[in-house]
Amino acid sequence: MPQVPHPKLTHQKLIILDRDGVINHDSPDFIKSPEEWVPIPGSLEAIARLNQAGYRVVVASNQSGIARQLFDITTLNAIHAKMHRLALQVGADIDAVFFCPHAAADNCDCRKPKPGMFAEISKRYKVSLKGVPTVGDSLRDLQAGFISGCVPYLVLTGKGEKTHVTGGLPPGTSVFPDLAATVQDILKQPAAIAVAN
């Protein structure tokens, strides 16, 4: 018997965002507590605009601070609880957070630039990621999305300026000052990547 898609999924679009440096201010010392998680001005409001346009917003984030024992899962959950709470205050909804807790030395499949988290997102939402926008501030964010079929967007917040200067961006990468400007551009486009058609 064919599966009937969940009604909430029908005619929705998907976008995948990195967390640190895209939604919130990044730190070379990692974001290790809810107090250190501070949104970049306009980022949560941009997510609200995506929601209003029918986008389901998903976060994909490397969190090797767990492997480095700088913080634990409980603290990460508390950080994300703050992110969700502040998002809701401006009418924004982050549908899910996917994260990789491993260090580079672990050689896992989920740590960006490997595409494991993107494959999980594709599986969870039962949708191809071809044409799905992905926004990051580092090359590995964009590489993981690009090899998964996503359309890459670089923001100049976080590590973005350095990433832009270093170069080597995936073909077709668009560059914007921040998430708010990126979202403004995405919403001008007629793209319609439906989730669970």
At 190 the pLDDT is 67
Catalytic residues: 18, 20
CA dist 50 and 187 (Å) reads 8
The token pair at 81 is 């609880």
Those residues whose C-beta lies under 8 Å from the C-beta of residue 14, and which sit 6 or more positions away, are 55, 56, 58, 121, 125, 127, 129, 132, 193, 195
Mean pLDDT in order along the chain per 10 residues (197 residues):
42 89 96 98 98 97 95 97 98 98 95 97 96 98 97 98 98 98 92 46
At 193 the pLDDT is 46
Q: Which domains does the chain have, with CATH numbers?
A: 14-195 (3.40.50.1000)
At 191 the pLDDT is 53
At 1 the pLDDT is 45
